[in-house]
């Protein structure tokens, strides 16, 4: 079996996902589309498709800087129709939702004066796991600590099962059919990666968490990332098992 991974930016690779795929003797091929690699034309029987995150969004799919986004949306639509094993992470989950016909849009809330303001989730926090009988959530409790790094959200695709939620973003994870999964959060990233993101993506972190945002995320990484690893690994292994059936 082989997994094709689409990587959108240099700093957001498959990391732990790739390690756990190889643990199951799944060959991993990474397509660095940001560097000019081609988006696959299709997903063959015996292949899995992993679509990673990135700073661009579904709303940028007609931006000439990101020609791969529309190609990926079409690929995901075909892969869903063919029942292939799919995992979308952050941007990947948004592209999967879009391919399934759902709306993807900036997450917003209201301030104390009733004005609409952006809502960005950045840093380590908990998600509520909503479907304990789902195979993807087997062995996990009612909550898990994960790494958030997003400002967009999506409606739940028609027919999808919602797997996880937060107060600020109700649609955090979902399943379409038996083999396609979207995770708005990151379970592939280690403490070192989160610390790197806090520095390299500091403007986005400050927009979400204030001037001290990068330092807050680094402190959270030191405190929470290690304890989050076991649940993150369990979730990834569960999802790989479902995708590979």
Which H, E and C letters describe 228-241, residue by residue?
HHHHHHHHHHHHHH
Predicted pLDDT of residue 109 = 87
Predicted pLDDT of residue 225 = 96
pLDDT tens for each residue of 156-189 = 999 999 999 999 999 999 999 999 999 999 999 9
DSSP per residue, 161-222: EEEEE-SS-S-SEEEETTTEEEESSBSS--HHHHHHHHHHTHHHHHHHH-TTHHHHHHHHHH
Alpha-carbon span 41 to 215, nearest angstrom: 42
Domains of the chain in sequence order:
2-244 (3.40.50.880)
Alpha-carbon span 105 to 28, nearest angstrom: 31
Alpha-carbon span 188 to 20, nearest angstrom: 10
Predicted pLDDT of residue 114 = 82
Predicted pLDDT of residue 115 = 87
Predicted pLDDT of residue 113 = 84
Cβ(233)–Cβ(20) below 8 Å = yes
pLDDT tens for each residue of 38-96 = 999 999 999 999 999 999 999 999 999 999 999 999 999 999 999 999 999 999 999 99
Predicted pLDDT of residue 112 = 84
Number of H helices and E strands in the chain, helices first, is 6, 13
Is residue 214 classed as helix, strand or coil in its secondary structure? helix
Predicted pLDDT of residue 27 = 98
C-beta atoms surrounding 148 within 10 Å: 22
Q: What's the mean pLDDT in 153-158?
A: 98
Smallest CA-to-CA distance from 228 within 168, 175, 186 is with: 186
Predicted pLDDT of residue 133 = 94
Which residues, in sequence order, are CB contacts of 210 under 8 Å at separation 6+? none
pLDDT tens for each residue of 106-148 = 999 888 888 888 999 999 999 999 998 999 999 999 999 999 9
Predicted pLDDT of residue 96 = 98
């Amino acid at each position: 079996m082989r997994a094709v991974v689409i990587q959108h930016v240099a700093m957001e690779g498959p990391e732990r996902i790739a390690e756990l795929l190889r643990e199951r003797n799944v060959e991993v091929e990474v397509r660095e589309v940001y560097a000019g690699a081609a988006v696959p034309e299709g997903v063959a029987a015996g292949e899995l498709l992993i679509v990673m995150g990135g700073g661009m969004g579904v709303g940028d799919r007609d931006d000439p800087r990101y020609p791969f986004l529309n190609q990926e949306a079409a690929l995901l639509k075909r892969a869903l129709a063919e029942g292939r094993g799919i995992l979308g992470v952050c941007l990947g989950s948004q592209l999967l939702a879009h391919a399934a016909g759902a709306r993807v849009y900036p997450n917003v809330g209201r301030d104390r004066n009733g004005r609409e303001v952006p809502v960005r989730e950045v840093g380590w926090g908990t998600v509520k796991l909503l479907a304990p009988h789902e195979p993807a959530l087997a062995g996990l409790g009612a909550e898990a600590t994960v790494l958030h790094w997003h400002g967009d959200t999506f409606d739940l695709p028609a027919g999808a099962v919602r797997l996880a939620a937060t107060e600020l973003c109700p649609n955090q994870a979902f399943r379409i059919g038996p083999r396609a999964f979207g995770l708005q959060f990151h379970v592939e990233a280690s403490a070192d990666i989160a610390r790197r993101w806090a520095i390299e993506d500091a403007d986005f972190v400050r927009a979400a968490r204030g001037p001290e945002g990068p330092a807050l995320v680094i402190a959270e990484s030191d405190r929470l990332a290690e304890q989050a690893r076991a649940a993150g690994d369990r979730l990834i292994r569960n999802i790989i098992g479902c995708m590979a059936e």
